Structure 1
C-alpha cells in the first residue's frame, strides 16, 4: 500500500513535522484503513510514524497539566491525538498482524498514559472528550481477540485506569474495551460494572441513539456471558451462606438482561439471541425442582422477613427469570411457541405461589402468561386443556386474571376484567 507522505517543515533550522500536513496525512490513513486489504498490507514503519506524532502531541497535554494556562493552546494537539487514535483504531480491526506490530512499538503504554493525562485536564471540551473516546476505542480494538495485547493493556491500565473508567461509566462508552477486558475483571469488578449498566438503563434520562448503539454491543456480551455462566448460581444450593462473587455476578447479568429487554430498541436483538431462551427455561426448571424437592435457598418462603433481616443475593432471581421469559415473548410468536415446546408453560404456572424470596412473583407470572398467550391460540388452548385436566388450578387462573370457557367442544382461555398489573 502506498502511504501518504508526511513532508517536514523547517522551524528555526530544525526539521519538525508540520501539524496541518500531519493531520491531513493521518486522516488519509484513517480512511484507507477502513478497508481490510489496506490494513493487511500496511508497513510497520507507518505505525512508528504515527506513534512519533502521538508522542510529540502528548508533550502539549503534559504542559497543560502542569500549567492550566496552556489549556487554550491544546486544540491542534488534540486534533492530532484524536486522528492518531482513529488511525490506529482502524488499523487494528480484524488484523492481528497490525495489532502485534503496534503493540510491539509500546504504543499501548503511550496511549494509556495519555488517557490518564486527559483525566487531569480540568476542562470541558468536546475535542478532549472525542480524543478520550477514540483512545479507549483504540485500546479496545488492539485488545480484541488478541490475548497478548489484552495482557499488555491489563498491565498498563489496571487498576488505576480501569477503576476510573468503571466508576465514571466511561468504560461503558467503549464496547470494544468492555468486551476485550471483561474476562480479566474480578467478579467484584464485574458486579460494579453491571450495576452501572443497570443504573444507566433505568435512569431518568432516556437513552440516546448513541447509547442504544453502544448497548446493542453490550447486549451480545451480557447474553453470551449469561448463557455460559448462569448455572454458577446452582452452587448456592450446597453453600447457602456463601456470599459467592461469581454467583452474584451471574445474578447481575440476569438483572441487566431484564432491563435491556424492557427497552423496545434493545428487545428485538435479544429475542433472537441464540440459546438465550433455552438457557433461561433450563435454569428456571432446575431451581424450581430443587426448590420443591429439598429445603434450600431456592425453596419458596411464605413468611415475611422481620425488619432488618439481611436479604440474600438470590432474592428475586426466580421471578426475574420469569420476567425475562415474559419480555422475550412480547409480541414474538417464535418465542411463545418455543416456551411451549420446552414445556415452560406448566413450569411458569407452577411458580405462581407466594414466595417472600421472590417479591411480585404472581405479577411476573401473570405478565409472562399474558405475553405467551397474546395472539397465540395454540398456547391459549394448551392452558385451557391444562385446567380441564386438573393440571392448572381454575382459582389460580382466576387470580391471575384468566378464565376458561367452553364453546361447543372447544375450550377457550380468555382474560377477565380483574387482570392484576404486571
Structure 2
C-alpha cells in the first residue's frame, strides 16, 4: 500500500506552491472535463472554494498562478454547453468569484473568468447583475484593458447590450472612461457586419432614449474645452461619443423615426452648433478652424470631427422629414450650416456633410430652397460655394430657383 501523501507545507500562514505533479493532475482533469460524459457536478463547489483560496493568498508564484488558471479553465470546461453545470457554477461562483477574478492583474485569469461568466449568463441571471453592477463594470474595464480578448467583448455585445435596464444602471455608475468604452461597443454593434435584428430593434430604441436624453441634458459640457484652464477631457470625450452614437443610430432606419421626433434633440444640436461656431470664430480654441493636423495627444484631438458630426446629425434628422426641415429654417440653422463650410483639418469631410445636410433640408421643401436662393442673391451665400456643393441659383422672371447642377458636387 502506498504511503499517504503528506499535507502541503505552510510558511507564515501561506500555503506553499503546489507540487508539479499536482498541477499536472489538475491540467489532466481540466482536459477530461471538456467531455460532457466526464462531468461531476459535485466537484464544482470544491473547485470554486479552491479558486477563492488562491485569490485570497495573493501570492504570485508561477506555480500558484498556474493552479489558479487551471481551476478557472476547469470551471469553464465543465460549464460549456451544459445547463445543469452552468446553474451549479453560477450558484457557487456568483458573485464572489467574478468580483475576485475580473479585476485580477493576471490577464489569463481575467480571460478565463470572463469565459465562465459568458458561458453561464442567461436572461434570468442578467437581472442579478443589475444588483451587482460592479461585476458588469469590471467586464467593461476588462475589455478596456484587454481589447483583444474576445470574452469581455462578447459578454457586452451579446448579453449586456440586450438589457436596456442594465445598460442604463451601468451608465449612471460608470466613470467617463468606462462610458466611452461602452459607447464604442454600442457603435460597433450598430455598424457591425450583421445588421440589427428585429429582436434588437426594440432594445436599441431604449438605448436611443438613454443616449438622446443624456446628450440633450449634458452636451454643453463640451464648451468647457474652450476654457483657458485645463478641462476634463474624459467628460467631454464621453459627451462627444454620445454624438457619435446618435449619428450611427440615425443612419439606421429602425431607429431614425424615433430620434427625429425626440423632444429637444434637433433644437439642442442646432444650438450647440451655433455656440461652438461662434466660440471657434471669436477666439483660438479647440473649435477654431485649422489648416494643419495637430500632434497626437493635443487637446484638440478630443474635439476632432465634432462640428462635422453635428451637421451630419442635423442632416439625418431632416431626412424626408418636413417638420424638421422647417424647424431648422425657423431656428436660422440653414445660414449657420452654410457658414460652417470651409477648410478645417479638425473636421474631416466637413464639406461633404454640409452638402448632405443642405440636400436633405431642401428636398421637396420650396421654402428652404427659396431661402438659399435669396441668400445667394443678397450675397449672403457664396455662389462658388453653392456650385461646389452641386447647386446653382437660376432666376425665372421674378422668382429665384435653387436647383441641383448636372455636375457631380466637388467634394
- The aligned counterpart of 1:342 is 331
Q: Of 268, 273, 293, which residue of structure 2 is paired with 1:284?
A: 273
Kept after mapping to 2: 8 A contact 1:115/1:132: no
SS at match of 1:209: coil
- The aligned counterpart of 1:75 is 83
- The aligned counterpart of 2:31 is none
SS at match of 1:312: helix
Whether 1:405 and 2:394 are equivalent positions in the alignment is: yes
Distance in 2 (alpha carbons) for counterparts of 1:133 and 1:59: 25
Change (3 A) 1:72 1:342: closer
Query: Matches of residues 384-399 of structure 1 in structure 2 within 5 Å?
Result: 384-399=373-388
Aligned pair count reads 324
Kept after mapping to 1: 8 A contact 2:315/2:357: yes
Whether 1:202 and 2:180 are equivalent positions in the alignment is: no
Superposition deviation, residue 202 in structure 1: 2.2
SS at match of 2:301: coil
Change (3 A) 1:247 1:75: closer
- The aligned counterpart of 2:163 is 174
- The aligned counterpart of 1:331 is 320
Report the TM-score, using the length of structure 2 for normalisation: 0.69
Superposition deviation, residue 64 in structure 1: 8.0
Kept after mapping to 2: 8 A contact 1:165/1:171: no
Distance in 2 (alpha carbons) for counterparts of 1:277 and 1:331: 15
Report the TM-score, using the length of structure 1 for normalisation: 0.68
Distance in 2 (alpha carbons) for counterparts of 1:296 and 1:244: 14
- The aligned counterpart of 1:294 is 283
- The aligned counterpart of 1:237 is 226
Superposition deviation, residue 355 in structure 1: 1.0
Whether 1:157 and 2:138 are equivalent positions in the alignment is: no
Kept after mapping to 2: 8 A contact 1:363/1:420: no
Q: How big is each residue's C-alpha offset from its partner over 1:140-176, in whole Å with a ceiling of 9 and x where there is no partner? A: 4xxxxxxxxxxx634x537535535884224323211
Kept after mapping to 2: 8 A contact 1:403/1:413: yes
- The aligned counterpart of 1:320 is 309
Structure 2: unaligned runs, 5 residues or longer: 1-40, 49-70, 103-111, 145-151
Kept after mapping to 2: 8 A contact 1:61/1:74: no
Distance in 1 (alpha carbons) for counterparts of 2:80 and 2:272: 57
Kept after mapping to 2: 8 A contact 1:64/1:71: no
Distance in 2 (alpha carbons) for counterparts of 1:253 and 1:73: 37
Change (3 A) 1:214 1:61: farther
Q: How big is each residue's C-alpha offset from its partner over 1:346-395, in whole Å with a ceiling of 9 and x where there is no partner? A: 00010011111111111110000000000111111111111112211111
Superposition deviation, residue 110 in structure 1: 8.5
Superposition deviation, residue 306 in structure 1: 7.2
Superposition deviation, residue 226 in structure 1: 0.5
Change (3 A) 1:202 1:75: closer
Whether 1:136 and 2:126 are equivalent positions in the alignment is: yes
Distance in 2 (alpha carbons) for counterparts of 1:281 and 1:121: 43
- The aligned counterpart of 1:381 is 370
SS at match of 2:302: coil
Change (3 A) 1:318 1:160: closer
Change (3 A) 1:165 1:61: farther
Kept after mapping to 1: 8 A contact 2:294/2:301: no
Q: CA RMSD in A?
A: 3.4
Kept after mapping to 2: 8 A contact 1:133/1:173: no
Change (3 A) 1:335 1:153: same
Structure 1: unaligned runs, 5 residues or longer: 1-57, 83-106, 141-151
SS at match of 2:259: helix
SS at match of 2:393: strand
